[in-house]
């Protein structure tokens, strides 16, 4: 069985560090941080833990910046999202590369989703 290694991109590291700094004073940030750590463990146990994103929906900049061929999303606490891709690091390991950790509105913006505006 291959070992699964989880690595954070620079963007994901920045979000993680910011949440870590604010966690001692914020229950919400602390909850999100615990959720990230829990999901990282889940991904180590099962690399396909997240929900796959259709190839035609993968943001163009991820193709250009990371040359990815797959993308998964994971629901975090407080409606945050984490995106990751899988690569074969070698014959003995799989690398789960976490691309970003975002609030739900930022996640929606990344994929071009818009809120439905229903007038009542």
Domain membership flag for residue 116: no
Distance CA 20, CA 70 (A): 28
At 6-51, the pLDDT tens digits run: 999 999 999 999 999 999 999 999 999 999 999 999 999 999 999 9
How far apart CA 76 and CA 27 sit, in angstroms, is 14
Question: CA 98, 89, 71, 28: dihedral to nearest 10 degrees?
Answer: -20
Domain assignment of residue 17, yes or no:
yes
Instruction: Quote the number of domains for the chain.
Output: 1
Q: Is residue 120 part of a domain?
A: no
Q: What is the pLDDT of residues 1-13, one digit of tens each?
A: 788 999 999 999 9
Residue 6's CB is within 10 A of a number of other CB atoms, namely 16
DSSP letter, residue 68: -
Give a yes or no: residue 75 inside a domain: yes
CATH code for the domain in which residue 45 is found: 3.30.2310.20
Position 8 in a domain: yes
- What pTM was computed for the model? 0.87
CA angle 17–32–67, rounded 5-degree value: 65
Query: Is residue 19 included in any domain, yes or no?
Result: yes
Spatial distance between the Cα atoms of 88 and 98, rounded to a whole number of angstroms: 14
Domain-located, residue 117: no
User: How would residue 118 be classed by pLDDT, with cut points 50, 70 and 90?
Assistant: very low
| Structural domain harbouring 82 | 3-111
Residue 119 lies in a domain: no
């Amino acid at each position: 069985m291959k070992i699964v290694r989880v690595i954070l991109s620079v963007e994901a590291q920045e979000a993680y560090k910011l949440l870590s700094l604010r966690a001692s004073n914020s229950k919400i940030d602390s909850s999100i941080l615990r959720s990230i750590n829990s999901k990282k463990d889940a991904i180590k146990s099962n690399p396909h833990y997240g929900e796959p994103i259709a190839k035609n929906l993968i943001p163009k900049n991820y193709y250009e910046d990371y040359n990815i061929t797959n993308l998964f999303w994971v629901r975090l606490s407080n409606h945050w999202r984490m995106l990751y891709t899988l690569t074969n690091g070698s014959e003995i390991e799989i690398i789960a590369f976490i691309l970003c950790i975002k609030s739900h509105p930022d996640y929606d913006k990344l994929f071009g989703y818009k809120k439905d505006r229903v007038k009542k």
